[in-house]
């Protein structure tokens, strides 16, 4: 398997590259967060340190998740619960705290890869439909009754988080984390979410599509629209 390793510590990186190689994985090691966004396409799995010299790893993860569903295992010294929760919410498939036990790391890489492959014949859903609304998550396009609706990048990001879990309630906190990240002021990102949701609802013209779940968050569509 091709692994992309984002790690700024030379000693840690060298040890990881060696043990991964011994277990049949080819690793490209990068030092900076920005390199992850340059090289992710050529890898099957990303091993991501959070304390990188240029960008916080969680910001790298959020940027990556906007463009890629690749497997991500966070590997970091940051073991506090808040960081672990943020990492998983932002889309990490697994989260390991350093110092890592190497056999466990290899087993977790295998487990994440197995899950990503899914059962034979399964494929990742890229287009979500609810009534006459169609959201293409890959192409970042939305159609209502066959007509294209123009959304801003942020409006689409909000819609994509909700449509990606269609029929399921998504908490406000999770939506804020995924679209705005923790770098922004809590009050301003909260206001920003309200503004974007209002715009989104107006542009889509389907008030029943984005349901507010009082005191919790939002849901795209109705659970009954999507089976199960
Ligand atoms: Ca580091």
CA of 161 to the centre of ligand 1 (A): 29
Spatial separation of the C-alpha atoms in residues 174 and 113, rounded to whole Å:
25
CA atoms within 13 A on the CB side of 11: 1
Q: What is the pLDDT of residues 101-145, one digit of tens each?
A: 999 999 999 889 888 776 655 555 678 888 899 999 888 999 999
- From the CA of 49, how far away is ligand 1's center (Å)? 6
Q: Taking 80 as the threshold, does the pLDDT of residue 228 lie above it?
A: no
- Laid out side by side, the sheet with 2-6 consists of 26-30, 2-6, 45-48, 71-76, 94-97
Q: Looking at 70-84, 111-125, 183-197, which range is the least confident one?
A: 111-125
Distance CA 56, CA 182 (A): 10
For residue 69, the CA-to-ligand 1 centroid distance in Å is: 23
Task: Classify 198 as helix, strand or coil.
Answer: helix
Instruction: Give the 3-state secondary structure percentages of the chain, helix then strand then coil, rounded to 5.
Output: 45, 25, 35
* Residues 32-45: b if buried by 16+ CB within 10 A, e if exposed: ebebbbeebeebeb
In this structure, is the dihedral angle defined by the CA atoms of residues 79, 83, 86 and 87, taken in order, positive or negative? negative
All structural domains of the chain: 2-117 (3.40.50.2300), 127-227 (1.10.10.10)
Q: Is the dihedral angle over the CA atoms 39, 40, 45, 48 positive or is it negative?
A: positive
CB-proximal residues (5 Å) to ion ligand 1 = 8, 49, 51
CA Rg value for the chain: 19
The Å distance, Cα 76 to ligand 1 centre, comes to: 7
Ligand 1 centre from 8 Cα, in Å? 5
Q: Determine the distance separating the centroid of ligand 1 and the alpha carbon of 51, expressed in angstroms.
A: 4
CA 23 – ligand 1 centroid, Å:
24
CA 66 to centroid of ligand 1, rounded, Å: 23
Query: How do residues 29-49 score in pLDDT, each as one tens digit?
Result: 999 999 999 999 888 899 999
Separation of CA 15 and ligand 1 centre (Å): 14
The CA 35 to ligand 1 mean position distance, Å, reads 14
Lowest mean pLDDT among 123-132, 151-160, 195-204, 214-223: 123-132
Q: How far is the CA of 72 from the centre of ligand 1 (A)?
A: 16
- Ligand 1 centre to CA of 52 (Å) is 5
Please report the sign of the dihedral spanned by the C-alpha atoms of residue 93, residue 97, residue 99, residue 103: negative
Structure tokens at 29: 């090691």
């Amino acid at each position: 398997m091709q692994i992309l390793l984002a790690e700024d510590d030379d000693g840690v990186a060298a040890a990881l590259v060696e043990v991964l190689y011994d277990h049949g994985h080819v690793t490209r090691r990068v030092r900076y967060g920005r390199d992850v966004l340059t090289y992710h396409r050529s890898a099957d799995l990303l091993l991501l340190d959070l304390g990188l010299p240029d960008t916080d790893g969680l910001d790298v993860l959020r940027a990556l998740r906007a463009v890629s569903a690749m497997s991500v295992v966070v590997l970091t010294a940051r073991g506090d619960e808040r960081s672990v929760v943020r990492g998983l919410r932002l889309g990490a498939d697994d989260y390991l705290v350093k110092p890592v036990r190497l056999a466990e790391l290899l087993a977790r890489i295998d487990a994440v890869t197995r899950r990503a492959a899914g059962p034979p014949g399964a494929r990742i859903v890229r287009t979500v439909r609810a009534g006459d609304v169609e959201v293409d998550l890959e192409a970042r396009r939305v159609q209502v009754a066959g007509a294209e609706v123009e959304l801003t990048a942020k409006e689409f990001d909000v819609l994509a988080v909700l449509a990606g879990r269609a029929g399921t309630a998504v908490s406000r906190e999770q939506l804020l984390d995924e679209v705005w990240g923790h770098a922004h002021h809590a009050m301003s990102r909260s206001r920003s979410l309200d503004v974007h949701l209002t715009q989104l609802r107006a542009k889509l013209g389907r008030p029943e599509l984005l349901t507010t779940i009082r005191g919790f968050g939002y849901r795209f569509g109705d659970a009954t629209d999507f089976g199960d």
